[in-house]
Amino acid sequence: MFKKRIKQIKQLNYDTREETIDKVLEKAKKSSDFTSFYPIETDNRIRISFYATLIDMNLLHETILPSLIEKIDSIKVLTDIKNIIPIESIKLSSDANEVKNSLHQGHAIIQLTDTPEEFALINMDNSRFGNRETNDTENEFSVIGPKTGFIEDITTNLHLIRRGLVTSDLIFEEIVVGTRSKTKVVIAYLEGVTNPEYVKTARQRIGDLDIDVVYDNTRLEQLISDHANTPFPLFITTERVDRAIFALVQGQVAIVSDKSCYVITGPSNLMDFFSSPEDYYLPWLVGTIFKFIRITGMLFSIFATPFYVAILTYHYEVVPKDLLGPIVYSRANVPFPPVIEVLFLEFTIEFLREAGARLPTKIGQTLGIVGGIVIGQATVEAALTSNILLIIVALSALSSFTTPIYKMSNAVRILRYPFIVLAAFYGGFGIYIGLILLIGHLMRLKSLGSPYMVPLFPYRKGGFLQSFTRMPFSFSDKRPSFLRTITRKMFEPKNNQDPEEGLNTE
């Protein structure tokens, strides 16, 4: 048995050693942004290969190709390329690993058919391409961490992703969608990590689309969703480069569309929408507390006003005696029942929020602050609502903004109203009925064929704790089991020793 294992290891080492440049290029060709061509169609002696998302295309068309085409007859051996192309950083190599690394670092490689195992490596790295100038993350802002976001150019977005994941396992598959718009859509994933079923499902759903124009990736998300009749987003749409890269490393699929500054990642579960990249840039205890605050804020935003309606309509007995007096006093002159009072204030908050979002930034901020203060004070003095409810509604609106993903924040806002109506008709029992219906609806949802409530339902022990906390890196070395990735191990955790240990005290 031991000898057999030794033989397998030797065979593995032999296969690794015998990995030729042709195999490297063959794997690179799986990605749609990899280009390999002959500068002159009638002369197949010279071949150029590169990742189009990493190199400076102007340098290629203005310097390299004209020089090659002009003096192609004088090229007899690969060394002649150094004398023909006016670029200093040209290196000759026949090492497959060096060629592979050079490709990922923005080099173009030139090959002669007479010497197929030797390449000229030309540094054409466009390192400034996609750098943060006007592509800040506006809707997913974080204090700590990178702030580079995607823009409405698919080439730039793919460049940013590939610079973040320097590996040949990163595959881009391009699909043209839209009978009139001919929009380029790219499916990105890590080969050897991502479950092929997710890639196949995404490829099939996008390929089967029959639509005239794809205006934005957010519309594409709705077209490929598993369920159309739900307020919950089934995919994460992000403008952050680091979040998209994190999703790819976890084993998810990313969908990039031209003319869109958002990238779709999936399959996603419910708890993914309460995680922020900022959690991983802070100590794990701080990240866990912030994640708990977001989940608590979501629950408070949904149930605060329905409980107010239920308690003041049916369940006065649960109010403490010390609090009953201020509540009665605040509602003494209010002529409306609690449900009308709550709906009036909730709609007022929504009007202010929508008006502030549609107006220019400075005017919108002024309207939100001044309008909220003036209208709130006026409604209390006019006895249209109680001051206690005003505080509850304001806190409920603030807590809905703790959700990092805007689409989930919208879902939380909408869910509040059915619970308010059920609380008005049936009290606490109505809230209980609504909660059961909500859980049942969530249990039916799927994202790219994966259960939306996993790891809560179906229960997965390994991912349950990680869904509610930000685990230390020493316990986060494996990818989530519910993603069913090919490779679960991400890195080898290292236990840091006490700095006092190992010191020579003699």
Least confident range from 1-15, 64-78, 300-314, 410-424: namely: 1-15
- pLDDT of 78: 80
Q: CA-to-CA distance for 207 and 203, rounded, in angstroms?
A: 6
Across residues 93-121, what is the average pLDDT?
A: 84
Structure tokens at 183: 């929009």
Q: Which helix (H) or strand (E) holds 410?
A: helix 406-426
CB 412 within 8 A of CB 301: yes
pLDDT band at 199 (very low <50, low <70, confident <90, very high): very high
pLDDT at 18 over 60: no
Are the C-beta atoms of residues 75 and 114 closer than 8 Å to each other?
Answer: no
Instruction: Give residues with Cβ within 8 angstroms of 14, minimum separation 6.
Output: none
pLDDT digits (tens, 9 = 90+) for 111-134: 887 777 788 888 888 766 655 565
Q: Is the peptide bond before 267 cis (omega within 30 degrees of 0)?
A: yes
- pLDDT band, residue 506 (cuts 50/70/90): very low
Per-residue pLDDT, 494 = 65
Q: Is residue 46 scored above 70 in pLDDT? A: yes
pLDDT of 3 higher than 50: no
pLDDT bucket at 252, cuts 50 / 70 / 90: very high
pLDDT at 65: 85
pLDDT at residue number 131: 58
Identity of the highest mean pLDDT range in 45-54, 218-227, 461-470, 494-503 = 218-227
Share of the chain above pLDDT 90, in %: 30
pLDDT at position 350: 85
pLDDT band for position 362 (cuts 50, 70, 90): low
CA-to-CA distance for 334 and 329, rounded, in angstroms? 10
254: tokens are 């990313």
Query: Average pLDDT, stretch 402-413?
Result: 89
Higher pLDDT, 253 or 398: 253
DSSP 261-274: S-EEEES--GGGGG
pLDDT cut 70: percent of the chain above it = 88
Q: In whole angstroms, what is the distance from residue 312 CA to residue 69 CA?
A: 84
Contact 379, 345 (CB under 8 A): yes
Q: Is 474 exposed, middle or buried (0-12, 13-18, 19+ CB in 10 A)?
A: exposed
Q: Look at residue 337 and tell me whether its pLDDT is greater than 70.
A: yes
Give the residues across from 51 on adjacent strands: 34
- Read off the pTM: 0.83
Q: Spell out the domain ranges in the chain.
A: 7-123, 154-268, 281-451
The answer to whether residue 505 scores a pLDDT higher than 60 is no
Structure-token pair, residue 144: 């700590």
Residue 182 amino acid letter: K
| 63, 85 Cβ separation under 8 angstroms | yes
Q: At what angle do helices 338-358 and 387-400 cross, to 10 degrees?
A: 40
pLDDT greater than 80 at residue 492:
no
Angle between helices 461-468 and 284-314 (to 10 degrees): 80
213-232 confidence digits (pLDDT tens): 888 888 899 999 999 899 99
Which residues have C-beta within 8 Å of that of residue 149, sequence separation ≥ 6? 132, 135, 136, 137, 138, 140, 239, 240, 241, 261
How confident is the model over 4-33, as a mean pLDDT?
62
The pLDDT of 269-298, averaged and rounded, is 90
Least confident range from 97-106, 108-117, 134-143, 336-345: namely: 134-143
- Residue 202 pLDDT: 94
Q: Is residue 248 very low, low, confident or very high in pLDDT (cuts 50, 70, 90)?
A: very high
CA-to-CA distance for 259 and 217, rounded, in angstroms?
8
Residue 173 has pLDDT above 90, yes or no: yes
pLDDT recorded at residue 482: 86
Cβ pair 184, 435 in contact under 8 A: no
**Pairing of β 253-257 and β 236-238:** unpaired
Q: In the prediction, which pLDDT does 456 show?
A: 87
Query: pLDDT tens digits for 411-449?
Result: 998 999 999 999 999 999 999 999 999 999 999 999 999
Ramachandran class of 259: left when φ > 0, alpha when ψ lies in -120 to 50, beta otherwise: left
In three-state secondary structure terms, 189 is: strand
As a whole number, mean pLDDT of residues 342-356 equals 84
Whether the CB-CB separation of 126 and 159 falls below 8 Å is answered with: yes
Which has more pLDDT, 132 or 138? 138
What letter does residue 224 receive in the DSSP assignment? T
